[in-house]
């Protein structure tokens, strides 16, 4: 008796050809190649799928930083934190970068940024405190470096999602 559904591991499914380091190919029963996920994005895809965020560790001016991509709640908290700086020209962009850095930074030299005691889930208050800490204690050069690293990490996430979309192609939808 054969396994009609195959396994959860895509590498053991019937019809799979040998994979190259950059790409794997699935073959339909009629021998045509099916779209596949570009293996260069596998690690990023796994991070997005199982954790929901990508992280990066890097050194800057002798300090070890860990940053991660932001979720929707955190992005909305950035908008709340920067609202008072709207219309201030360059100040608006600096406030935005500072808020993103404050929310995206997991740790510096193994220490997390200050977190309010008795955290009760009020993300906006937490975001304001982290923003204030970064604004008052970090120089603009550090904020700019971490922000650029964050943008690169977001780009990596976007590439993984785009590769996933290409691998699975368009799907038919049911009207209504």
- For the cut 80, the answer to whether the pLDDT of residue 156 exceeds it is yes
Domains of the chain, by residue range, sit at 54-161
DSSP letters for 138-167: S-HHHHHHHHHHHHHHHHHHHHHHHHHHHH
- For the cut 70, the answer to whether the pLDDT of residue 5 exceeds it is no
Task: Give the span between the Cα atoms of 170 and 23, in whole angstroms.
Answer: 20
User: Residue 47's pLDDT is what?
Assistant: 46
User: Residue 18's pLDDT is what?
Assistant: 39
Is-contact 140 91, C-beta < 8 A? no
Tell me the per-residue pLDDT of 82-100, one tens digit each, with 9 for 90 and over: 999 999 888 999 999 999 9
| Three-state DSSP string of 123-144 | HHHHHHHHHHHHHHHCCHHHHH
Q: pTM for the whole thing? A: 0.65
Tell me the per-residue pLDDT of 38-47, one tens digit each, with 9 for 90 and over: 555 455 555 4
- For the cut 80, the answer to whether the pLDDT of residue 64 exceeds it is yes
Q: Among 127, 117, 118, which residue's Cα sits nearest to residue 95?
A: 127
């Amino acid at each position: 008796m054969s396994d009609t559904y195959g396994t959860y591991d895509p590498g053991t499914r019937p019809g799979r050809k040998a994979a190259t380091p950059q790409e794997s190919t699935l073959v339909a029963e009629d021998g045509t190649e099916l779209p596949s996920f570009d293996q260069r994005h596998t690690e990023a895809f796994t991070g997005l799928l199982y954790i929901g965020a990508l992280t990066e560790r890097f050194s800057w001016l002798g300090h070890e930083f860990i940053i991660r991509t932001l979720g929707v709640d955190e992005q909305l908290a950035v908008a709340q934190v920067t609202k008072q700086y709207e219309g201030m020209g360059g100040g608006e962009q600096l406030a935005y970068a500072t808020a993103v850095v404050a929310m995206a930074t997991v740790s510096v030299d193994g220490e997390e940024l200050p977190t309010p005691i008795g955290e009760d889930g009020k993300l906006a208050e937490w975001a304001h405190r982290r923003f204030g800490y970064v604004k008052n204690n970090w120089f603009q050069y550090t904020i700019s470096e971490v922000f650029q690293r964050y943008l690169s990490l977001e780009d990596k996430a976007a590439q993984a999602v785009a590769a996933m979309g290409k691998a699975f192609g368009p799907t038919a939808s049911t009207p209504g």
